[in-house]
Amino acid sequence: MPGNLVPGAFLSNPDFNHCDAFYGELEYQGNSCQRAADQLPRGTNRETWLVNSSDSPFSLPLTVGTDGCYVTVEVAGPTTIRGVSVVPNRVRAVAYFVVQQCVVEQNIGGFATQNFGGLLNIVGNPLTDPEDPYPASTTFLTVTVSGPSNRRYAPGNTDPHIPITIGDYLYSKIHALPYGGSLKNLYTVGSNYWISVAQLMDRGGSKTWWETKATEENSGMTYKCDAGLGSPSYPDCSRLAYELPALNSVTLTAGGATFFNRDNCYMALTVGTIIVINWSQIRAALDTLLNLCVGPPLQDPAGGRAFYGPMPRFYNGRKKKRSDLTGMNALPPHVNITVFEQLEPWTNTTGELNSCTWKAVSSGSSVKTCNVG
Give pLDDT tens digits for 92-128: 999 999 999 999 999 999 999 988 988 988 888 877 8
Q: Say how many C-beta atoms besides its own lie within 10 A of residue 69's C-beta.
A: 27
Q: What is the spatial distance between Cα 210 and Cα 78, in angstroms, rounded to a whole number?
A: 7
Instruction: Say if residue 88 is preceded by a cis peptide, omega within 30 of 0.
Output: no
What mean pLDDT, rounded, does the chain reach? Answer: 81
Confidence category of residue 287, pLDDT binned at 50, 70, 90? confident
Decide if 280 contacts 246 (C-beta within 8 A).
yes
User: What number is the average pLDDT over the span 169-179?
Assistant: 79
265-271 β-sheet, strand order: 221-226, 303-308, 335-341, 265-271, 258-262
Whether 76 shows a pLDDT value over 90: the answer reads: yes
Decide if 249 contacts 317 (C-beta within 8 A).
no
Q: What is the spatial distance between Cα 290 and Cα 234, in angstroms, rounded to a whole number?
A: 7
Instruction: Say if residue 178 is preceded by a cis peptide, omega within 30 of 0.
Output: no
Q: What is the spatial distance between Cα 1 and Cα 268, in angstroms, rounded to a whole number?
A: 53
Q: What is the spatial distance between Cα 329 and Cα 320, in angstroms, rounded to a whole number?
A: 9
Backbone angle region of 181, left / alpha / beta, with phi > 0 → left and psi within -120 to 50 → alpha: left
Q: What's the distance, Cα to Cα, between the start and end of the chain in Å? A: 65
Give 306-347 pLDDT, tens digit per residue: 988 643 322 223 333 444 556 777 788 888 999 999 877 655
The H or E element that residue 32 is part of is helix 30-38
Which of residues 40 and 172 earns the better pLDDT score?
Answer: 40
Give 17-40 pLDDT, tens digit per residue: 999 988 988 887 778 999 999 999
